[in-house]
Structure 1
């Protein structure tokens, strides 16, 4: 049975899968595309075995998931693809309304953390800026939708990754790669089959290395969709390392989220352990 592997269908995830998509890196998995909320739901339902998910979802399912140790999607400073578009300066959003996109989870929580000192009414809507702002005072956009937005002169734009770094000093981890514990248990009945997960993790790392070495080709591939975006600058600000600072920043994010009642307490990141 082929492992069911999620693929986040935003260009920020393209470097991770580029080597696989270009058939430079082999992988023994069925790849299933989706937006963050779709992958979150598929993994939670057991319809995926391994997937990138919104980072908040790990805290919400920590008893069910293990993390792949070497990869995440993060940014330290402005990221351009997680933005708040507002009719008012951010400090004047008290007693105002904000539309949240249906595609997101991590960014919903991040915005609520950043605005926790304000009384804000949130409403989830499809990610279309004009309809979002028709009945709301501000709108959150993420991913490719955020990159495509052209802010009118009378609106204010705030980069949430930049605001998080200013608040905490940490990078913000938007997505992690998780494997279901029950899938690990199923494979561990015949222990050599755990190598399947190790091989997929290795293929993802190898594919990412290929993607990072060929950012120019990735940019050429997606430029027609984003003709007015500085894609070199965009990819320069995206990071995929899951090191000590990223892990500390993620735990800080979970602590803020827990204190707001947005997830269970999560004080430890538990990783899939390779057998070799």
Structure 2
């Protein structure tokens, strides 16, 4: 019998909405205690043991010990993501200073890998909040993620879509985030354990996609057609063979460049 709630970190970004939707609308309410964080805070809470699971930047799988991956689910982009971008006043190979959105962990690693290996530059890095005018006032370029990136004006700027860059480089999709669960998380007394809830939440989200899109239209400002394309074509939620291959390659590069301590095999719930 569970004597403590299963503490779940929820990210209120649009790209995570289909994965979160069931939980936010009462799925497993008797088992789960929801906490709302931005991505980097979610990773910190998972590391400290304040939460038992969350949608976490994929790089954190290498940095936080004793985590398991929920099989079959992720936040990935097959080719072009549109919500993870470097916006630059100069061509990529001329970037000497880069402001990084402090909300993310994986994207800031990916952005630096792409600039180093594809464009031959290692710009000076500054962590900042996602305020594009402030970021560009003192830097050549800004890396932005999520809803802030979707709302950011891009006129007159060079735009590097990081998933598009990765795909052009490797031919693979890019995996931005995973459902990660602490090994010592509470066991739920239901058939299939906790893993079944993550998949059910996603199924509910897919069924409620029109409602998710309508809510996003009011907050982000994109058209319904653009938002539908974003959630069905730019973002993928399936952790398949190509995604696992991409994770292995990303992890290898991240370790080689010093962004994570060591590679480790993917271990699933």
TM-score > 0.5 by shorter chain: yes
C-alpha deviation, 1:195, in angstroms: 4.5
Q: Give yes or no for the alignment of 1:247 onto 2:244.
A: yes
Alignment of 1:80-99 (within 5 A): 80-93=82-95, 96-99=96-99
C-alpha deviation, 1:227, in angstroms: 2.0
Tell me, what secondary structure is at the counterpart of 2:59? helix
- Structure 1, unaligned runs of 5 or more: 188-192
Instruction: Give 1:140's aligned residue.
Output: 143
C-alpha deviation, 1:70, in angstroms: 2.1
For the 8 Å contact 1:29–1:200, the answer to whether it is kept is no
RMSD: 1.6
- Picking from 169, 172, 175, the partner of 2:174 is 172
For the 8 Å contact 2:151–2:221, the answer to whether it is kept is no
Q: Give yes or no for the alignment of 1:60 onto 2:80.
A: no
1:97 & 1:129 partners in 2: Cα distance? 14
For the 8 Å contact 2:100–2:128, the answer to whether it is kept is yes
Instruction: Give 2:9's aligned residue.
Output: 6
Instruction: Give 1:114's aligned residue.
Output: 114
2:140 & 2:112 partners in 1: Cα distance? 15
Tell me, what secondary structure is at the counterpart of 1:182? coil
1:10 & 1:125 partners in 2: Cα distance? 18
For the 8 Å contact 2:188–2:194, the answer to whether it is kept is no
- Picking from 68, 71, 75, the partner of 1:69 is 71
1:249 & 1:169 partners in 2: Cα distance? 9
Instruction: Give 2:211's aligned residue.
Output: 217
Instruction: Give 2:159's aligned residue.
Output: 157
- Picking from 243, 259, 263, the partner of 2:260 is 263
2:212 & 2:74 partners in 1: Cα distance? 19
TM-score of the superposed pair, with normalisation by structure 1: 0.89
Tell me, what secondary structure is at the counterpart of 1:262? coil
Matched residue count: 259
Q: Which moved more, 1:228-237 or 1:45-54?
A: 228-237
Tell me, what secondary structure is at the counterpart of 2:238? coil
C-alpha deviation, 1:214, in angstroms: 2.5
